[in-house]
Amino acid sequence: MNLLENITSRPLPLARLMGITFTHAEPDKVIARMVVRPDLCTLGHRMHGGSAMALADTTGGAATLINLPATASSRTPDPGLANAPGNRGRKARGIGDPDPVDSVMSESESF
């Protein structure tokens, strides 16, 4: 099985939902494509940042997968909801706290 077949033989549910397809896979480069559908866009008809991040994360995850030894596994180092045991079927909640207009971010807080 070549590297591209290795990736495409185990599609992620989110990748399937978003229409992400892999077109190229080498140890130093993985290429995936996604049609930017209206349901993946902002109200301004531009690709939503979450859609772009999901495409990037899925592509990066595939690149990691094909470079792991056969006996190794991988997981996101984020201690948040993504790695909570048994979160499938549960609800997640997002809370947005905008900064006050007069606040200033220091360099260490910007990203």
Note whether 33 and 23 are within 8 A (CB): yes
**What does the pLDDT average to over 89-110?**
57
Instruction: Please give the residue that has the higher pLDDT: either 88 or 37.
Output: 37
Can you read off the two tokens belonging to residue 47?
């690709």
Enter the pTM of the model. 0.73
Q: Per-residue DSSP letters for the chain?
A: --HHHHHHTS--HHHHHHT-EEEEEETTEEEEE----GGGB-TTSSB-HHHHHHHHHHHHHHHHHHHS-TT--------SGGG-TT-TTS-------PPPTT----GGG--
Contacts of 65 (CB under 8 A, 6+ apart): 6, 7, 74
Q: Where are the domains of the chain?
A: 1-66
Interval 36-54 mean pLDDT: 94
What tokens does 72 get?
Answer: 């190794």
**pLDDT band at 106, cuts 50/70/90?**
very low
